[in-house]
Structure 1
Amino acid sequence: MSLAKLFALIQYPLPHHLLSRLVGALADCRLPWLKNACIRAFIRQFRVDMDEAAEPDPTAYATFNDFFTRALEEDARPLGEGLVSPADGTLSQFGAVEAGQLLQAKGHRFSMMELLGDDGEAARRYLGGSFATVYLSPSDYHRVHMPASGTLTEMVYVPGRLFSVNAATTEHVPNLFARNERLVCHFDTEHGPMVVVLVGAMIVAAIETVWAGQITPLSGEVQRVRFDTPVRLEKGQEMGRFKLGSTVVMAFSEPVTFTDALAPATKVQMGQSLGSL
């Protein structure tokens, strides 16, 4: 048995939410000596480039979470043409939505309907469309931005597990993104419907949005919020953030012509052009 498969298997019995809440409490600690030690250790371990941060002094952050969701300098991520990456990370998979299925990893597909909280009507909007998945590692910038301009119409919280979403787990845990806790954000755009799904993961203490603040942790049933008053967000504008790393899955009702240079496992930065609609 490979180490990757073993890593995936040992996650099944773990108390995902309890572990995540404990780490979340530590990440919100305001004791200067403790939060500074955690931040410095993290910078060393993951070789975080603080030169591009709006606040480059690690000790200036009130908590580890403030450091982890730090803003970048204003011009650190110029916007490219067309559809852009919503985050720094790895473009793990992208392509067509085929028969209502998205590619998770080689040999694994998952259902668009399940990803959207068993919403068949919403899933039908993306038949014949395209998707892209960006994985944010611990070392990445952890704010999520709009891949295209749009108006928010509905937000759906979907409860679930909190498996890791790294490459080892995506290759060995079926339906991973449709099993984990997630926040589904539906938008209307000039190119038709667009959905951006913020997928939680192990030790992700919370998901926030710019329009509603902190959303998770929640539990229990699917929760839907409709927006009668329009929330308009332009391409490249921040839409949310992860308190510790995770994944963004986005889908479009129209086919995307992806840039030829892209391939699965390509490193991307927020604002980088991914293709055109």
Structure 2
Amino acid sequence: MFNQLKAIIQYLLPKQLLTLIFGWIANKHLGKVTTWMILGFSKLYKVDLSEAKISDVKEYKTFNDFFARELKDDARPIDSAANSIVMPADGVISQFGVVQDNLLLQAKGHFYSLESLLACHPDMIKFFKDGAYATTYLSPQNYHRFHMPCDGILREMIYVPGSLFSVSKATTESIPNIFARNERVICLFETEFGPMAQILIGATIVGSIEVEWEGCITPPREGIMKRWTYAGEVKLTKGQDMGCFKLGSTVITLFASNAIAFDSHLKVGDITRVGQKLAERI
């Protein structure tokens, strides 16, 4: 009942406006006000700043600088095994498994289609038919940058406009097709494991999605799909920083059929850390 109430509120909220306002405030140099905001947020969500390269909140000029903070170089060791695939983000495994009948599990009783997630891109649908997927939810307390699960060469990136529903546990259990309805950035890589996609999901108050090779992808929110293609000039290594959310959200990682096997100890609800083993090559 409580989750249903939250869902109703989500439908009624002016999500685009709230995100615009919060994004504007978060990018402003507000001096002591910024410091107080960061201190309050850190206390409310129990943010561990001891891992950050900048641990003194007074050194952050904007709230967004704090959101996009980098960690100390040794904070997230990367699994070095040649056949391993690593966690792309700090957060929680909300779902993982195999795409069955072209459907991915969102939450108990809720599925969404591969076609809708990939904006009906015919090649990508073919690449990931019967493939494997892992969904990592980043809460507000988490480190907000996302990383490469394995070495890869970027081939294509697509921005898909959409809604900005919250992607918390309560809303994913109540609102159908949430990942296929929300705005997202789809990054397609060529890897030694076959094609791999990292899908970066927008959400309420996520003021920005940024990637290292193009900078800020959203905003602006112009309501049109955008596409970038690459000829091999963007090469990323396992564990390398890909970009950031300006507040928590979700990363969906897709692999081709019969390419990888998830770690035998992995289960829904597991806490994830960048660089820990997620899967290995079959």
Shorter-chain TM-score: which interval?
over 0.9
In structure 1, the gaps of 5 or more residues are none
Give the deviation of 1:229 after TM superposition. Answer: 4.6
* Distance in 1 between residues matched to 2:123 and 2:155, nearest whole Å: 15
Correspondent of 1:200 among 199, 202, 211: 202
Q: Residue type matched to 2:53 in 1?
A: A
Q: Equivalent residue for 1:233? A: 236
* Distance in 2 between residues matched to 1:127 and 1:118, nearest whole Å: 12
Q: Equivalent residue for 2:66? A: 67
SS in 2 for 1:62: coil
Correspondent of 2:224 among 201, 205, 221: 221
Q: Which moves more between the two structures, 71-80 or 253-262?
A: 253-262
1:203-252 deviation line (CA, Å, top 9, x unaligned): 00000000000010222221111112521000100111000110000100
TM-score, normalised via structure 2 length: 0.96
1:153–1:230 contact (8 Å) kept in structure 2: no
TM-score, normalised via structure 1 length: 0.97
* Distance in 2 between residues matched to 1:167 and 1:72, nearest whole Å: 26
Q: Equivalent residue for 1:141? A: 143
Q: Equivalent residue for 2:111? A: 109
Structure 1 position 171 matched with structure 2 position 173: yes
Q: Residue type matched to 1:30 in 2?
A: H
2:153–2:232 contact (8 Å) kept in structure 1: no
Q: Equivalent residue for 2:261? A: 257
* Distance in 1 between residues matched to 2:276 and 2:109, nearest whole Å: 28
- Identify if the C-alpha distance between structure 1 residues 119 and 272 changes in structure 2 by more than 3 Å, giving closer, same or farther: same
Q: Residue type matched to 1:195 in 2?
A: A
In structure 2, the gaps of 5 or more residues are none
* Distance in 2 between residues matched to 1:196 and 1:134, nearest whole Å: 11
Give the deviation of 1:13 after TM superposition. Answer: 2.5
* Distance in 2 between residues matched to 1:32 and 1:223, nearest whole Å: 36
Q: Equivalent residue for 1:127? A: 129
Aligned residues: 276
1:191–1:254 contact (8 Å) kept in structure 2: no
Q: Equivalent residue for 2:280? A: 276
Q: Which moves more between the two structures, 218-227 or 152-161?
A: 218-227
Structure 1 position 15 matched with structure 2 position 19: no
1:174-229 deviation line (CA, Å, top 9, x unaligned): 11000000000010001111010000000000000000000102222211111125
- Identify if the C-alpha distance between structure 1 residues 262 and 205 changes in structure 2 by more than 3 Å, giving closer, same or farther: same
CA RMSD of aligned residues (A): 1.0
* Distance in 2 between residues matched to 1:31 and 1:24, nearest whole Å: 13
Structure 1 position 38 matched with structure 2 position 37: yes
1:45-104 deviation line (CA, Å, top 9, x unaligned): 011111111111111011111011111010100112411110000010001011221111
Map 1:151-162 → 2, pairs under 5 A: 151-162=153-164
* Distance in 1 between residues matched to 2:16 and 2:123, nearest whole Å: 30
* Distance in 2 between residues matched to 1:203 and 1:246, nearest whole Å: 10
| Aligned-pair identity (%) | 47
Q: Equivalent residue for 2:245? A: 242
Q: Residue type matched to 1:231 in 2?
A: V
* Distance in 2 between residues matched to 1:118 and 1:17, nearest whole Å: 24
SS in 1 for 2:189: strand
* Distance in 1 between residues matched to 2:232 and 2:198, nearest whole Å: 19
Q: Which moves more between the two structures, 3-12 or 179-188?
A: 3-12
1:100–1:124 contact (8 Å) kept in structure 2: no
Q: Equivalent residue for 1:3? A: 2
Q: Residue type matched to 1:153 in 2?
A: R
Moved over 3 A (4+): none
Q: Equivalent residue for 1:26? A: 25
